[in-house]
Structure 1
Amino acid sequence: MTSPWGGDRPFTAVVTGAGSGIGLALAAQLRERGAELVLADVDRAAVLGAAERLGATAVVADVADPEAVEQLAEQASGARFVCLNAGIVGPSVGAPWEVPAAEWDRVFAVNVAGVVNGLRAFVPRLLGAAEPAHVLVTASLAGMTVFPGGGAYGPSKHAVAAVVAHAAMALEGTPVGIGMICPALVATGMSPVGADPADVAREALRAVDDGVFAVVPPEWRAAVVDQLATVAAGGRPTPPAPAG
């Protein structure tokens, strides 16, 4: 797929969860590529601050609200690059039965429904424009392999990965591409340690340039495959570990 920022023509990019972390890093690097930015976040102060620094349009929106995302798409009607990045972890990180029902609902509402709401709002517009465009979804390594604990977060990201794969099949043969990044720990509001969000964003945009569908940390790829192969063969899953 041709990158939406190919050539000298300016393009509009939308980033959800843009107030901090990976979203803010994506926004900054898209600005360097010449994008006119529309930034969305549920945190008013954070998104207004990010927009002021980057010369962007700020939209306060909860991606779990379909109407709010529809309004975001209307406001960014000329967008050709959409980063569906917003996500939360949730306070509970134990076994499934230790996570309160309301927390399951909220994590899935933001992480999964937020992506579906974004696809529903933006993809028909992108297809209607009949121009090169791309959707980049922030998934997680926790959506590619299963770790012990993690509460509702890991299951929600598995659902996100399935939604993105389904969308990729549906968009085959169109000028609209889709892909996902599946980082391990990133130093954001979700984790005090991990990779630099700027490095994650840089690799994500490079993957779009190169036509890569999913970005999985190299040291974790064998663990992802091994766990899936074990389960497919009827075995019980064991906690994954990085190579080396």
Structure 2
Amino acid sequence: MRGADRKASGWRVTAFAGGAFAIGVLAGCSSGAPQPLTKPPYTATSVKSGLVTPADLGKGAIEVEDSDHASHVVYTPPTSIPTCPYVQRSEDVKVVVQPAIEPVGGNPIGRFIVGPQRVGPTSLPVITQGAVVFQSPALAEDTMNTVVAESAKCPETFGVLGGPPSVVGDYTVGSKPIEMNGWKGFAQHLVHTSPPDMNPDTYDDLVTVVVHKANAIVYVGYAQIKTVGQRADTEEKIETLMTTTLARLG
């Protein structure tokens, strides 16, 4: 995604980061239903085993772990759960809203990024993902309620007037509840367009899914750079990816 961190690898990825759905098939995904690799109660190790891998995206995908470098263009801790990406850069938000929530009493697994070595309109997507595991389902549910409440404050539109060219522009945000394979949460769709004099040819299309089941909260951000005139299809694509991921998690 263009409006995002620039890491040493040359990737441009979402800051928490950290979707509605139609059926599609991603390159590299198995046509058969994945077998569960784990089941509740979850551990940090078992949750990580079910997350998106380079093989899920296809040829050319690699994986790195977020280095927690606070000089990121849009920084949130890898131990946090996304609620409203990029809002911390905005100068015109009327309501105080946090871009992410750092959970209390949870065990974060870190933040992992899967995507191409170079990002552009014709590249693979950039996947930003992580999870937090709790000692009890009650703690996980309380934290999820806090995340949902904070995400509900995210404005439908906001702007970023200053900063790196990659984040300047207009942001449109929409959210809806989702439920898949027993996991419940929300999918937040964010579209970023640059000012006409900066980058009139492309826009950023990001969907962040945050879901909860038993004693775990999982989030996945799916970011694409789209050419102006192309349909925003990230919602459909992340549904296919989450169907695979959440089936593996059981």
- For the pair shown, which has the larger CA radius of gyration, 1 or 2? 1
Structure with greater proportional strand content: 2
Structure with greater proportional helix content: 1
Same fold (TM > 0.5):
no
Q: Which has the higher contact order (CA 8 A, sep 6+)?
A: 2
TM-score w.r.t. the length of structure 1 is: 0.26
TM-score w.r.t. the length of structure 2 is: 0.25
